Amino acid sequence: MALKEKIMDVVGGPHVAAVATITMGMPAVRFMVLNGFEDMTFVGGTMKSTRKVEQLRKNPHAALSIWSGKEFTDPYVVIQARGEVHDDLATKKKYWNPMFEQYFKSVDNPDFVVLVFTAKEIEYHGTGMMVPEIWER
C-alpha cells in the first residue's frame, strides 16, 4: 500500500485530533474534530473567540496528531501544518456539517469560523514500525 493511502486510512473523514498551536513561545494543545481530505488538508470548525484562533492568527505554525483509535498498536500520524482561519460565508458553507449545529447553531453564526490546516510534512507511524515513513508536500 502506498504511503498516502496508509495515511488516509488513519486520517480520512472526521477524527478527534490533538491540535497544537504556539502561545508566548510555548505549545498549547487541545482536542478538536478535524476532517481529513485527500489533498492532505484538515478542516474543523470552532468559535472565533477561542484562544487557538488568536494563536493561529499570530503564528500559523501548528502540529496535529491523529491516532486511528482502535488498538494501542494501531497506526497514528504526526503532522506539521500551516493553519488558516476562515470566516467568510462561502468557506463556512463549503465545510458546514450538520453535527456543528449543536455547537454553532447555524452557518450564519458570526462567531463560527473554519480552521484549515495544510500539511507540510506527515510522519506515519505504522504497527511495529521503529522509524516512521515521511510524506512531504
All structural domains of the chain with their residue ranges: 3-136
Find the Cα–Cα–Cα–Cα dihedral 18, 3, 117, 51, rounded to 10°. 10
pLDDT of residue 39: 96
What is the phi-psi region of residue 25: left when phi exceeds 0, alpha when psi lies from -120 to 50, beta otherwise? left
**pLDDT lower than 50: segments of the chain:** none
The fold of the 3-136 domain, in CATH, is Pnp Oxidase; Chain A (2.30.110)
pLDDT of residue 51: 95
pLDDT of residue 24: 87
Give the integer Cα–Cα distance in Å for 117 and 37.
10
pLDDT of residue 1: 77
Which residues, 6+ apart, have CB-to-CB distance to 87 below 8 Å? 48, 110, 113, 114
Instruction: Say if CB 1 and CB 29 are below 8 A apart.
Output: no
pLDDT of residue 135: 95
pLDDT of residue 7: 94
pLDDT of residue 10: 93
Is the pTM above the cut of 0.85?
yes
Give the integer Cα–Cα distance in Å for 106 and 49.
16
pLDDT of residue 114: 97
